[in-house]
Amino acid sequence: MNISWYIVLSALLFTIGAIGILIRRSPMVILLCLELMLNAANLALVAFSREVGNAQGQVFALVVMVIAACEVVVGLGLIVAIFRRKLPLDVDDLRELRG
């Protein structure tokens, strides 16, 4: 299979993730969509690393996984805090700050 296929696929996944962030309101799902985007990036990285024939991209992908995990943790922590604070778990309703 050509590398191009993988890249195009990753582009597809990336955009799907983006769409998700833009249209979902539950913070949890939004976090999931972030995961989607990061994974799309990972796919691209790995594919490219295959294409250029060095493994740096794969390592990059691994690091990205770690970072994604961190973001998830913090995100979920925030969600919990918000829940504790009896605020709605809907990003549209969190709009005290604007203008």
The residues in 21-60 that bind another protein, with binding defined as CB under 8 A, are 21-60
Q: Report the distance separating Cα 94 and Cα 83, nearest Å.
A: 12
Query: What is the nearest approach in angstroms of another protein to the Cβ of residue 69?
Result: 5
Closest among 39, 31, 44, 45 to 75, alpha carbons compared: 31
Both tokens of residue 95? 């709009």
Q: In the window 63-92, what residues touch another protein (CB under 8 A)?
A: 63-87, 89-92
Q: Report the distance separating Cα 86 and Cα 91, nearest Å.
A: 14
Both tokens of residue 98? 């604007």
Query: What is the nearest approach in angstroms of another protein to the Cβ of residue 88?
Result: 10
Number of residues that bind another protein (CB under 8 A): 97
Both tokens of residue 11? 């582009």
Residue type, 54: N
Query: What is the nearest approach in angstroms of another protein to the Cβ of residue 93?
Result: 9
Query: What is the nearest approach in angstroms of another protein to the Cβ of residue 31?
Result: 8
